[in-house]
Amino acid sequence: MLRGIWRVASIAMLAGAALSLVACSQYGKLQAKRAFKDANMLYQQQEYKKAAKLYEEAVTSDPEMSAALFYLANSYDNLYKPTRKGEKENDEYLAKAVEYYKKASEKEGDAKIRKLALEFLVSAYGPEKLNDSSQALPIVEKMIQIDPQDTSSYYQLAKIHEDAGEYDKAEATLLKAKAARPNDPTVYLQLGGFYNRQEEFGKTMEALSERAKIEPNNPEAFYTIANYYWDKAYRDFRLKDAEKMDFVAKGLVAIDRALQLKPDYMEAVTYKGLLLRVQATLEKDVAKQTSLIKEAEKLQVEAKELQKKKVSGAAK
């Protein structure tokens, strides 16, 4: 009889303890939500030090609150100043940012917060902060594994390789991004920019031309092509006149396509004039040279008028 009474009492005690734990847990979550809300207001006002204190309270009350962990990390990240690198307090801010970004990235709850935490963690290991690509590499590779379709992770990885002088790896990474999202125009802009930095002009233009094929009705795609052709013909003094003339001709074809799609494209009108001026410097026939300069001057006036309309329209 006594044994039965003791067992019932034990069960009652356990049940009471369980209810107490649930109540404590609920109270903790409520406290965390309140602290998080107040911290967000301070964060929006860029009061990062005060916000961090309240985010600390939130994660203490509810360690699973991934959003609070992320914003705690980001508050410390915002407090860090690269110009004060080497100062103890300043460096501690960055160390805390890394610590909490890691914790936020390990929480399974909110996928968006997890991804953001990983992205900012990579930035913390970047050249302007900790400058440790060996730490950043596995994080970006993990991001690609989590979402192979997110090309931004490939771009980050390519940049790490490029900054390290690993150009083959950088190119291979960008080509993987292209394979993952072959119809994404940004992929080709990234490739074009990379090849241009490596002074591989042929590959640069191939990438930009592929982008234009994907966006045949986007005037900016053709304007970009013309811009690169003008820049090459105007600035590269290693080129022979025949090469410059070829690039100018290709640039004019591209810029005319942009203007067909958007006749009031002020930037395209400007660059057509610039291309014609380069062509004039290469022209041997004086009469034709004069004609090209006059046409360029007319386009300059037209561009100014379009600019005035644009400014006037924006002011209304």
Q: What is the pLDDT of residue 60?
A: 93
3-state DSSP call for residue 310? helix
Q: What is the pLDDT of residue 28?
A: 62
**Domain assignment present for 118:** yes
Residue (of 51, 29, 25) closest to 40 by Cα position: 51
Q: What is the pLDDT of residue 311?
A: 83
**Domain assignment present for 153:** no
Domains: count for the chain: 2
Q: What is the pLDDT of residue 127?
A: 85
Picking from 96, 122, 148, the residue at the C-terminal end of a domain is 122
Q: Is 141 exposed, middle or buried (0-12, 13-18, 19+ CB in 10 A)?
A: middle
Q: What is the pLDDT of residue 278?
A: 97
CATH code at position 55: 1.25.40.10
Contact 248, 282 (CB under 8 A): yes
**Domain assignment present for 246:** yes
Picking from 122, 140, 161, the residue at the C-terminal end of a domain is 122
Residue 83 DSSP label: G
| Residue 130: C-alpha distances to residues 75, 98, 138 (Å) | 17, 10, 15
What region does 180 belong to: left with phi over 0, alpha with psi -120 to 50, or beta?
Answer: alpha
**Domain assignment present for 269:** yes
Picking from 122, 140, 170, the residue at the C-terminal end of a domain is 122
Amino acid (1-letter code) at residue 221: A
Tell me the per-residue pLDDT of 8-55, one tens digit each, with 9 for 90 and over: 344 334 334 333 433 445 656 888 899 899 999 999 999 999 999 999
Angle at 29 between CA 103 and CA 12, to 5 degrees: 115
- N-terminal to C-terminal alpha carbon distance within the chain: 90
Helix (H) or strand (E) holding 252, with range, is helix 241-261
**Domain assignment present for 281:** yes
- Taking the model in full, what pTM does it have? 0.76
Tell me the per-residue pLDDT of 227-269, one tens digit each, with 9 for 90 and over: 999 999 999 999 999 999 999 999 999 999 999 999 999 999 9
Owning domain of residue 42: 36-122
Q: What is the 3-state secondary structure (H, E, C) of 144-202?
A: HHHCCCCHHHHHHHHHHHHHCCCHHHHHHHHHHHHHHCCCCHHHHHHHHHHHHHCCCHH
pLDDT one digit per residue (tens) for the chain, 316 residues: 434 443 434 433 433 433 343 344 565 688 889 989 999 999 999 999 999 999 999 999 999 899 999 999 999 999 999 999 999 999 999 999 999 999 999 987 788 898 899 999 999 998 889 999 889 999 999 899 888 999 999 999 999 999 889 999 999 999 999 999 999 999 999 999 999 999 999 999 999 999 999 999 999 999 999 999 999 999 999 999 999 999 999 999 999 999 999 999 999 999 999 999 999 999 999 999 999 999 999 999 999 999 998 887 765 5
Give dist(CA 127, CA 143) in Å, integer: 19
